[in-house]
Structure 1
Amino acid sequence: MLQLFFGFVFLSSVSQLQSLTGAQAECPLQLNPQRVVVRYGSSVAVNCKTSVLHKGIGWEAIEGAVPMTKNQNLITWRVINLTEWDIKPFCYINYKIGDKNQCIEELPVALYKTPDSVSIRTVIHRGPMIEGQQYELQCDVHDVAPVQYLTVKWYKGQTLLNQTIFSDTIETPVNKAITLLIRPDRADDGAQYWCEAELDLGAEGPQPPPKNSSKPLNVEVYYKPRHFSSTETIIKDDKVMLDCTVKANPAPDYTWSSDHLKEKISSSVLKSSALSPGKYTCTTTNSLGRDSKVFILKSTGAQDECPLQLDSQRVVVRYGGSVEVNCSTSVAQKGMGWEASEGGVPMTRNQNLITWRVSELTDWDIYPFCYINLIDGNQCVVKLPVTVYKTPDSVSISTVNHRGPMIEGQQYELQCDVHDVAPVQYLTVKWYKGQTLLHQTTFTDTIETPVNKTVTLLIHPDRADDGAQYWCEAELDLGAEGPQPSPKYSSEPLNVEVYYNPRHSRSTETIIKDDKVMLDCTVKANPAPDYTWSSDHLKEKISSSVLKSSELSPGKYTCTATNSLGSDSKVFILKSTGIRPTFWTVLTVFQLSVALISVI
C-alpha cells in the first residue's frame, strides 16, 4: 500500500511538471510598469519581481544598474536624472535549478524631449502678399525627440489646414522644418497662420499629449478693388449719396467722370443733391488694378438727364446666344437709333421705342448705345454694358510630374485645367477633397475673349487621405444679370492612393490565455504589411497577423509588421488563466517522491 501511495505521488508530480512545461515556461519576472515614458532629465522607477526561488536577481542598464541580489524577490531600477537616449534596461534572474541558467525581461523606455521652440515664418518673402499668388510658410521645430512620435499641425485661425508625421527612427533630439504652400485671397487679409508640434507618446505618455505652438503669423494681403455691382440707379435726394467706397489693399484712389462735372473729384462719395441728373462713372484704382461703377442719377421731378430708358441696364449673353433690349423715350425728338457692331438700328423718326436685337451674338468686344436727336438740336446717348460669356469646353484634374501612389508626408502638386472660358475675370476655380472646399482662386485678367487657365494646388497627403477623391470646379459668377445659379463645371474626381507605414495604436498588450482570445497584430498600412513573430516559445516561422492564444505557451510574443515604408512592433504578454503550482513547487514534490520511494 505504501509503495502504491508513493508511486501515485510520483506520477502526480510528473504529470504536474509536464503541464507546467507549457503553462509556465515564460521568464518568471514581472515588470511594473511594462513600458515607461520619461521626460529627458526626469526620474524613473520600475519594479521587477519574481515568485520563484533563484540564485540571484538584478538589473542591467547604462544608468541605474542594480547588482545581482540574492534572497530578494523584488528590486527596483531607479534613475533620478535620466539622460541616456539609447537606454535599454533589462531585469534578469539566475535560476537555482532548472534547464535555463538565466532569463531576462526587457523594459521598453521612451525618453522624450519637448521642443525648445516652435516658430513660423515665410520663405523668401517679406511684406504683404498678393492675392492669388503662391507663398511658402515654414514651421521650425527645434530640439525635439523622439521625432517618430511628433505631429506638426498647420492652422489658419482655428481651422486645421494640414498635418505632417515622421517616419524617422532616430531617438536623439533633432530639428525639423516643415513647409506649407498657400494662395491667399482677399478674405485672408488679416488672417493668422500658426503651427503646433504635438508629441503623442501613447497611453503611457503624458495626457493630454504635450503641445507647443508658434506665435501667430499675421498675413497682410494686397488685392485690387472689385465692386459688387457695375451699375446703380440713384434718385436725387438731400440724404442720398453716390457711394463708390470699395474694399481694396492698398487703399484705393477714386476718380469721377461725367459730362456734368467741371472739376476733378477724388472723394469716394458724392452728395446726390449737389449734382445734376445724369450718368457718373467712378473709377477705383490701386497698384494691383482698377474697377469702375456707373451711377445713374435721376431727379425726383423734372428730368433734365438724357430722356432715354433701357429696359435692361446691363445684359449678360452666352456666346452665340440671342439678345434684345428696348430703348424708349417720352419726349418729342427728331430721331432715335442704336449704334452697335452687330444689330445696329438706323435713326428712326416718329417712333418712341426701338429695339437692339441680335439673334446670334459673336462679337466679344461689343459696345452698343442708344441715341436720340432732340428738338433743340442736341444729341444724347445711353450706353448698354454687355458681357458675352462662354462656359469651359472642359475641366480636368491631374498630378504634376508624378504617377502612381503618393507617399505619406511628401508634397505633391495637383493641376486643374480649364479650357476655353470667358471672360476670365468672372471665373473662380475651387478645389475640393470629397465635399470639403480646400481653396479657391480668382483672376484679375481683363481680357474678354476665351482663354485657357491652369491652376495648381500643393498637398501633403497622410494615411487618412488614402482613397480620397480630389476634384476641381470652374464657376462663372456673372452677377445678378447672369444665369442663376451661376454655371459650374467640375472635373472627374482624382482618386488618390497613399502609401504609409504600419503604426500600432499601442506598443504592448496583455492577453489572458483562452480558447476564444487571439493575439491580433493586424494593422492598417499601404502596401499591405508582412507579419513576423518572435518568441522563445515559437519553433517555426509564422507569417499570419493573428495567433490563437490557446495554442501558445504563456510568455512574451513580439509581432513586427513591415512594408516598403517601414516597420512597427507590438509586444503581447500572454498569461495563463488559473493559478498553477510553480516549476519549483512541482520539482520539490518530485524530489520528495523520489526520496520516499528510496526509503521504501
Structure 2
Amino acid sequence: MLHAAGVHACPIELSPPSVVVRYGDSVTVNCSTEVPFEEMGWEASEGGMALRHIDHLTWTVASLTDWTIAPRCYINLSPGSQCFKDPEVILYIGPDVQCYLSGYLDLREGETLERGCHVTGLPSPTVRWLKAGQLADPAAPLSRSDAGRYTLETEGAIFISKELTLRVLYGPEVKCPDTYTAVEYAPHNLSCDAIGYPIPETIWYKDGEEVELQESFTRSDSGQYSITASSILSIVDYTVDINVIYPPSQIVELEDSEVYVGSTVWLKCSSTSNPRPHYSWDYYPTANVMVENEDGVSRLHIHNATAYNTGSYTCHASNDLGKVSRTAGVTVKGTSVECPIEITPDRMVVRYQSRVLRPAICTPASADSSHLKEMYWQVVQGDKTNGTSWIADTDRDWDPRPVCTATFNVIGTCQKPLNFTLYKTPDSVSIRLVGGSPVEHREFQLRCDITAVAPAASVAVRWYRGNETFEPLRRGPLLVAGCQSENATTCDPGDVRMPLGVSSTISLTLNRTDSGAEFSCEVLLDLGPEGPQPPPSVTSSPFNVTVYYKPIINTRKLPKAVPVFRGYLEELVCEAEGQPTPKIQWLYSRDVVPHVSGDMLIVSEPGVYNCSASNQVDSVYHEVNVILKEDYLPLIAGFVAVTVVAISIVFLFIYSIYYKNTKMRRYSLQNPKVDTPSSNVAHNGWDMQFPMTKLS
C-alpha cells in the first residue's frame, strides 16, 4: 500500500484525489488546473506521461498490480517554477470468501463454522457469523440443531455479506424395537425410524433377501428382519424379531362318522393359530367318551359305541384373538335314533291373508315323552315361540321355514321341520309379443306375464288358441321379471317364496291365414294334494295376433312385356298384396318421363320399368319391358281410301261413256219398223244384245 502527497499551494486539481483499487483492476485519475501554465505531465512507475501543453491530463493503468505505485501530477507554471500533487492510491485484495458449495455449508456434526468457509484478503479482514441476527461462535462444535440460515460478514478494504444455509451432517441412526408383535391382517404400527442428514436410505432384509414391509402382516411374515440405513456418512444395521399372531384357522380333519354298535370312533380336531389354540368339545356326555389334547391337536375317543353316542360333536378352538367351531355327526347304526317328534299336520298349505287357520302341533313320541327337557318352535328369522303350537302370519310369512326343536335327556337336541306353503294367486295375467309383430313362416315369441304370484316355483302355464289348448314349437323356462343374467339365483323362481313377477315365453310360427287368431294363457298353482283342488287358476284376456307377410305383386294385371304404339299412352297398373299394406314405387331410367298417378304409371316411351312393393317384412320387384310398335292402321286406311277413289274414278269414267251411248243418242219415231218380238232388244243397229226376261 502506498500513500503519496503533494504541495498544498500547487493549483492542481485531482479527480478523484483518493482512489481505492482492487488488485488487478484499472485505475484512472484526472489532473487539471485553472491557472496559466506551460506544461503538464504525470510521473509514475506505470502509466507515466511526458509534459504536454494541455488543460487536463488523465493517468490510467489498465491493471494495477504495483503495491508501491506513487503517481504524481506536475505542472510548469513559468520557466524554472514547477509544482505537483500526488493522488492517494490504495491497492487491496479481497476479502475473498470461499465455501465448498455455493449458498450451502455441509459440515459434519462436531465440526466448526470456520472450517466451512475460507476468508482471505489484504488488509487482513475481520469475520463475523450471525444466525437470526445473533452472533454465532465459529469455533464451537456444531450439533444437528445448529442447522439453518447463517450470515457471514467480512470486512477488510471493503465489506462483504454472504447468506449461507448450514446443513449439519450426522447419522444414520436407527430407532427400532428388538421385538414386535403384530396381529395378522391388521394394520401394524411398527416404527423403525432411520434419522440423519442426508436422509438415509433404508432397506429391509429377511433371510438375506431384500423385502418390502406391507401395511399388514400375514403369518408367513413372522421371522427375524434386519433394517439397513445408509447414507454417504456410514451404514447402520439393526435386527428386529417380528411375531405375527393370528386366530385359529378353520378346523380340519373333523368329519362325520358312521359306525356300528360296539365300534370304536376317533374324532380329530386340528387348527393352527399363534399362540396355539385351546380346545374344548360339546357333546352328550357318556362314560365311554374321552378327550386327549396333544401337540396342538385334540382327539375325542368313543369306545364301544352305543345308541347314546349318536348325535353332534362340536369342537371349539380358541385363543385371545378368536374362536372357531366345527360340528361332526356320529351315527351309530343298528339303533333307532330318529328325532322322536311328531308334527300335525306334517304339511300346511295356506292362502294369502286367510283368516281361518288351524295351528301346527308339535308333540314328542309317546315312548320318549318322559325324556323331554324343552320343546319350542323357531322360524328362519330367529323368532322363537315357546310351546308346542305354531300359527302362521298369513300377511307376511312367505318363507318362515318353521322348525320344531326338542331337547331330550338321552339324545340331546333334535329338530323336525314343518313343510309350510303360503300361496297367493296372481294379481294379473297378460300376454304380449316379444321382439315385434309375427312374420309369416318366421318363429316369433309370445310371453305370458304373471304379476305377484307365490310361490312362483309352483306355477304351471297352459296356452290356448281360441278355446283349444295347444303345444307350442318351443317353451321357455319360467323366469323372474327383471332378473339379471349375471346373477343366476335371482332368475330362478325357486329361490324366492314371496310374491314375484314371472313370465313364461313360447315360440311358434304362423302363416297369413292365422292372422286374427286369439291366444290366451292360463296360470295354475299346482300345490300338491294338500293344496286346494282343483288348483287355483287365472286366465289372461285374449290376445289377437296380426301376421305380417311380404308383398305379392299381381302379375296378371302387369305382364312382363307391354307393347305401346307410337304416339299412344299406355297405363301400367301395379297392385300388390301384403301385411302391412305395401308401398308401391316405380323405378325407371332418367331419360324417360312417365306420369305417375298413385299405383299407375302412364308411359308412351319404350324402356324397362320396375315396380317396387315394400313393407316392414320385405321388398319385391317386378320388371316390365315396354316395347314400341308402329301403328300401320292409318297407312292401311289411307291406301284403302286411295284405292276406293281410284276405282270410283274408273267406274265413273266407264259409266259416263256408257251413258252417252245409251241415253245421249238421237232417236227417230218416223217409219218405225215393226220387228218380231224376241228376247233381244236391238240398239239402233248395234250388235249389242242384252238378254231380256219376260215379265209375267
Task: Settle same-fold status: TM greater than 0.5.
Answer: no
Larger Rg: 2
TM-score (norm 1): 0.31
